[in-house]
Amino acid sequence: MLKLAREGLLHGLRTALQQARKTRKPVRKTGLRVRSNGAWTDVDLEVLPLAGLSSLHFLVLFDRPGPKAHPAPAASTRRGKAAPRGGRNTERLEQELAATREYLQSIIEEVEAANEEILSSNEELQSTNEELDTAREELQGMLSHVLGCPDQGPGIVEVRLRTAAGVKPVQLVTRRDPVAARTGVSYHTAIVDLTDVRRLEEARQQAEHARQKSLEGERAARAANQAKDRFLAMLSHELRTPLTPILAAADWMASQSTVTPDLAGKIDTVRRNVRAEAHLIDDLLDVARITQKDLTIHRLPVDLHRVIADTLDGWTTVLSQRRITLDVQLQAGAC
């Protein structure tokens, strides 16, 4: 259609077609100057998109506007030309200039769209070239493997093979055919899928990593336990040190002749509690010995009457403050 357009109609027609294709709406251009039979004629055109078809089509309508009324000229110019004619020329030039601008703008938009399509095509071509390079390298590797197969024994190599399901690791096992050695060189190649093998190897590596991590945690826990045992041994020693002078002072006070019976009972309570505290400290040391498997057990007879009496003696003050009377009957026989 653009090749058949008359002089002066090309810019406006192309601009209208471009706008109609872009907006999918009717576009109307007025005041176009068309050269016909050696004279210039004013023409209006309208481009209508046709819907409901398999592809986009346009209907172009041309219309000749009616005659325009021009005011009478007020005065003539010095050269004898009428002023309205100059105004019509200026208006026609402005219309042509606007049509030219729209035409250039449409060309710019078409060039930008073409550039985007070219860039997209270049990216697709680059991706295709990369895939072709990868396939060429795989084929070269397979060919080198086949040609480098030893005379005796199979040749084995692992490659990555591109399939419809994706890239898979495979193993090529190639053996030269000894029967065809007289007539030519013949090879037999077996392709072994290593996908399951790689999956099992990955699972084994993960299990090994988890085992190593568990061993590291066990070593850290053992080191922390040893540090705890050393701390308990040091703490037990530090706690036992001040008990010795306390027990010595209590023994000295009990040996004095001026001690009243009531005070002697209090001193005896202090001595028993100091010995009990020392026994608890010894239990802490026994815990450390148990973890180090260095505990020795000594069996000795125990006077249960004495143990119960010592326990009740520590609660005498509390029971008396709360006005509680405790009746104890100790009738255990001798062992």
Q: What is the pLDDT of residues 10-55, one digit of tens each?
A: 777 877 887 888 888 888 888 777 777 777 778 888 888 887 777 7
Evaluate if residue 117 carries a pLDDT over 90. no
Q: Which residues pair with 39 in a beta bridge?
A: 36
Q: Are 44 and 63 in contact (CB under 8 A)?
A: yes
Burial of 128 (0-12, 13-18, 19+ CB in 10 A): exposed
Pick from 180, 171, 164, 186: nearest CA to 141: 171
Exposure string over 171-206, b if 16+ CB within 10 A, otherwise e? ebebbbeeeeeeeeeeeeeeeeebeeeeeeeeeeee
Report the alpha-carbon distance of residue 192 to residue 251 in Å, rounded.
90
The number of residues in the chain equals 335
Q: If pLDDT is split at 50, 70 and 90, which confidence band does 206 have?
A: very high
Residue 287 has pLDDT above 70, yes or no: yes
Pairing of strands 155-163, 27-36: unpaired
Predicted pLDDT of residue 205: 92
Ordered alpha helix ranges (H), 24-181: 83-147
Structure tokens that stand for 121 in this block: 């095509």
User: 306 in helix, strand or coil?
Assistant: helix
The confidence band for 216, taking pLDDT boundaries of 50, 70 and 90, is: very high
Closest CA to 88 of 107, 67, 104: 67
Which residue, 93, 90, 88, 32, is CA-closest to 60? Answer: 32
Q: Which two tokens stand for residue 88?
A: 């019509």
Separation between Cα atoms, residue 94 and residue 31, nearest integer Å: 10
Q: In Å, what is the CA distance from 143 to each residue of 9, 136, 151, 163? A: 64, 10, 16, 18
Q: Helix, strand, coil % (nearest 5) of the chain?
A: 55, 15, 25
CB-facing half-sphere around the CA of 81: CA atoms within 13 A: 8
Least confident residue range of 107-116, 229-238, 285-294, 300-309 = 285-294
For the entire predicted model, the pTM comes to 0.32
Better pLDDT: 20 or 293: 20
Among candidate residues 204, 201, 194, the one with its CA nearest the CA of residue 156: 194
Query: pLDDT band at 262, cuts 50/70/90?
Result: confident
| pLDDT > 50? residue 198 | yes
Question: What is the Cα–Cα distance from 308 to 250, expressed in whole angstroms?
Answer: 22
By C-alpha distance, which of 29, 32, 34, 41 is closest to 7?
Answer: 34
Spatial separation of the C-alpha atoms in residues 146 and 159, rounded to whole Å? 13
pLDDT band at 213 (very low <50, low <70, confident <90, very high): very high
Q: Where do the domains of the chain lie, and which CATH numbers do they carry?
A: 10-66+84-124 (no CATH), 148-193 (no CATH), 204-294 (1.10.287)
Question: Does residue 254 have a pLDDT over 70?
Answer: yes
CA angle 298, 302, 308 (to 5 degrees): 140
pLDDT class for 126, splitting at 50, 70, 90? confident
Work out the end-to-end distance of the chain between its first and last CA atoms, rounded to an integer number of angstroms. Answer: 129
- pLDDT value for 195: 83
Pick the residue with more confidence: 110 or 2?
Answer: 110
**Structure confidence at residue 80 as a pLDDT band (50, 70, 90):** very low
Are 142 and 153 contacting, i.e. CB atoms less than 8 angstroms apart? no
